[in-house]
Structure 1
Amino acid sequence: MARNSNSNRDSNCLRRGSTGPFIAGLLALFSGAANAAWELNLQEPVTAVARRVYELHNLLLWVIVVIFVGVFAVVAYSLFYHRKSRGHKAADFHDNTTVELAWTIVPALILVAIAFPATSALVDMRDTSEPDLTVKVTGYQWKWGYEYLTGDAAGVKYMSVLSTPREQIENKAPKGEHYLLEVDRPLVVPVGKKVRILTTANDVIHNWAVPAFAVKTDAVPGFLRDTWFRAEKEGTYRGQCSELCGKDHGFMPVVVEVVSEEKYAAWVGEQKQQLAAVAEDPNKVWALDEQLALGEKVYATNCAACHQANGAGLPPAFPALDGSKIATGPREAHIEMVLKGKAGTAMAAFGEQLSDTDIAAVVAYERNAWNNKLGEVIQPAEVKALRGK
């Protein structure tokens, strides 16, 4: 008996010990801190249009709540108080003109009432007239290209690429605060200025979206679409490509930095100085070591996502470059492949994205990395000659 008593007591202790952490976990799950991390609401609006969208969203939410509660209250009341066990019998009528008119007219009136503020907000969202600056945004698999067309920064252009370290993506390091929502070069705009965004794409359909601005517009190859925003508050605002666009769709964030006019002017000056500093000398002759150092950076930014850092690729969609016919074959064919891509495959054309120097460097890197020890230097002049064909 003593053994049984001890056994029961031990069993009870085990049950209490096992349920304790479970209950603690539930309490933590529903704590204020945990709820705050869920971020169930829309992002804080920082433009007038976004604020109108947010207010309209809240208004419609309560309209829907009232309709939901009203309809289901009637349903619940009918089910409970008119059940068969209370002696009720189902009516055998097949129509009621008054009820049918009511459930047609009332929803119609609600929709008309909603249409006025919704249409007004939509008209404002489409008014891209009189911008202070215009930026062309081009979607690529899987990065964004920014080109300032008007304003103080006119002529500045660059690529914006995910900067989350590969170690985090491959679960070899802890995730950072802005995991998959950070880039090497964000779009920079001044606070309080109307920014017109022209979107297009180089390959497939993308979508440039920043929720805090209430901006979400498709980037379609061969077409120009436009939208706009006027940020009222300095800060860094993040979004993502919102159109499924292939393998690395989830690795294509949008980051916009809104800065003061003084900081924006300083940034523009820095960008123009950098453009002048890196202006290519067409007569420069590159050495192999120097070119491979540049080529490795270009490859990591533009090619490694598909062909992998080790050149092994992800066959069959993304073939290996290590030992491949293209990377060890005629150099002209290799350059043309990078310049113009290959129709019907996932190989995109990089002629519009990269300069002659960058293309020469990445081709040289691919022909000398891993087991491809060809010892070849590709001069930018070779790329320029093939670009014109």
Structure 2
Amino acid sequence: MHDHTVMRSFKQIITNLKLRSCSVVVGVQLMLSSSAFAETAPLSEPSLSSSSSFNMTQGVTEISGKVFHLHMLIFYICVAIAVVVFGVMFYSIIKHRKSKGAVAANFHESTKVEIIWTVIPILILIGMAIPATKTLIEMEDTSESELTVKITGSQWKWHYSYFEHDVEFFSYLSTSNEQIEGTDKKGEHYLLEVDNALVLPIGKKIRFLMTSDDVIHSWWVPDFAVKKDTIPGFINEAWTKIDKPGIYRGQCAELCGRNHGFMPIVVKAVQADEFDAWIADKEQQLAEQKRQQQQALQKTLSMDELMTLGKEVYEGRCAVCHQSNGLGVANVFPAMKGSTVVLGDVNGHIDIIVNGVSGTAMQAFGTQLTAEEIAAVVTYERNAWDNNTGDLVQASDVATQINAQTNVEGE
């Protein structure tokens, strides 16, 4: 009777261990694996097929390799401890069971035993702490960097600024609303694709300065072993030195709001000469965009032109909160259809889009959109969804109001 009871208990323990092991494996896969992020196609993207999908990726930087090997060292130590502890436990359960006439020993504390099982764990912890500390110190050492990139998180996009160059831009999710809403087939990189990738040179130490405009975000690229929170009013530092050219994907790893899952990161790592050529081309593009923005202030667009551009801007920037149908989300994001703001004073409407609303999720788009885009989206919101105000707003109207606000603040 006792034998059967012990064996049933033993089997139950084994079953629980198996279930917990499966849970751990799944957790490691979901939290630490980057197989869903690392590309394996051209731009001569590195193949990470040697990495198990059930484990951390070894990445494409020296520091990510060190993190991986540290992870494996700690893992094997834990496995060894588990084997010894559970081995002794199961041996004792089976060998010294009551059905075999085992009698519980009657003894008091042993100073020698207490010292042994105190000293051994201390030595194990020291053996784990030394390599862990070395790796952590190296991960935090941003000195002697050759390029500095400022990363600013905001709901729900990334803003990149290259300190050594006159280049900065926003990076938005480029997955279509049709895919997100399920009316179109999901693409290969669903929710992991952007309109503007962060371009970095390989073989150079790159320092990241990270902050946020609103709430806490987290910039995470598993292949670089970089995961750092971006905190409003605070600047965190991190660094990487990429060994292989390729496209590497990541995500915001901090629950930052309703569309937390729509903040992907795409890094395009290229040769140094390609990076220099890209920087030169990007600087020219940005200069041309500024020139075009100045010209746009002199243009007068028709209602059809404004509505077409406005719908494009709205779908790309506003629909994520206020919905494509303009109905918003009850008690969270106000509706545009029939809104008192949209149907009210035009200048007040422009002001909200340009400067945002303090204390709410409505951020300032004055530096994110051009005057022409702001004019178009204001026109669109005032005439879509049966609002039909008939109002046309031109880029010059937006510029005039921005200049007026600037003059008032200057006084």
TM-score normalised by length of structure 2? 0.81
**What letter corresponds to residue 180 of structure 1 in structure 2?**
L
Q: What SS does structure 1 have at the residue aligned with 2:122?
A: helix
Residue 251 of structure 2 is aligned to residue 240 of structure 1: yes
CA RMSD of aligned residues (A): 1.9
> CA contact under 8 A between 2:350 and 2:398: conserved in structure 1?
no
Number of the residue aligned with 1:272: 283
Aligned residues: 351
> CA contact under 8 A between 1:286 and 1:377: conserved in structure 2?
no
- Rounded Cα–Cα distance in structure 2 between residues aligned with 1:214 and 1:143: 21
Aligned counterparts, 1:23-172, within 5 A? 39-150=53-164, 154-172=165-183
Number of the residue aligned with 1:193: 204
User: Which of 181, 186, 191 is 1:180 aligned to?
Assistant: 191
**What letter corresponds to residue 281 of structure 1 in structure 2?**
Q
> CA contact under 8 A between 1:356 and 1:384: conserved in structure 2?
no
Deviation of 1:115 (Å)? 1.5
Residues 297 and 270 of structure 1: is their aligned pair in 2 closer, same or farther, counting only changes over 3 Å?
Answer: farther
Residues 100-155 of structure 1: CA deviation (Å, up to 9, x unaligned): 222221111111111121111111111111222111111011111111111xxx12
- Rounded Cα–Cα distance in structure 1 between residues aligned with 2:112 and 2:370: 72
- Rounded Cα–Cα distance in structure 1 between residues aligned with 2:265 and 2:389: 39
Deviation of 1:43 (Å)? 2.2
Residues 293 and 38 of structure 1: is their aligned pair in 2 closer, same or farther, counting only changes over 3 Å?
Answer: farther
Residues 352 and 381 of structure 1: is their aligned pair in 2 closer, same or farther, counting only changes over 3 Å?
Answer: closer
**What letter corresponds to residue 46 of structure 1 in structure 2?**
V
Q: What SS does structure 2 have at the residue aligned with 1:200?
A: strand
Number of the residue aligned with 1:219: 230
**What letter corresponds to residue 110 of structure 2 in structure 1?**
N
Residues 376 and 285 of structure 1: is their aligned pair in 2 closer, same or farther, counting only changes over 3 Å?
Answer: farther
Number of the residue aligned with 2:351: 336
Deviation of 1:270 (Å)? 2.2
Deviation of 1:63 (Å)? 0.7
- List gaps (5 residues or longer) in structure 1: 1-35
User: Which of 212, 215, 218 is 1:204 aligned to?
Assistant: 215
Deviation of 1:387 (Å)? 4.6
Q: What SS does structure 1 have at the residue aligned with 2:153?
A: strand
Residue 309 of structure 2 is aligned to residue 294 of structure 1: yes
Aligned counterparts, 1:356-375, within 5 A? 356-375=371-390
Q: What percentage of residue pairs aligned between the two structures are identical? A: 48
Residues 180 and 387 of structure 1: is their aligned pair in 2 closer, same or farther, counting only changes over 3 Å?
Answer: farther
> CA contact under 8 A between 2:353 and 2:374: conserved in structure 1?
yes
Number of the residue aligned with 1:6: none
Residue 332 of structure 2 is aligned to residue 314 of structure 1: no
**What letter corresponds to residue 60 of structure 1 in structure 2?**
I
Q: What SS does structure 1 have at the residue aligned with 2:342?
A: helix
Q: Is 237-246 or 268-277 further displaced after alignment?
A: 268-277
Residues 363 and 231 of structure 1: is their aligned pair in 2 closer, same or farther, counting only changes over 3 Å?
Answer: same
Deviation of 1:309 (Å)? 1.3
Deviation of 1:383 (Å)? 4.0
- Rounded Cα–Cα distance in structure 1 between residues aligned with 2:115 and 2:402: 73
Residues 310-345 of structure 1: CA deviation (Å, up to 9, x unaligned): 211111101110121111111122122222322333
> CA contact under 8 A between 1:43 and 1:211: conserved in structure 2?
yes
- Rounded Cα–Cα distance in structure 2 between residues aligned with 1:383 and 1:38: 57
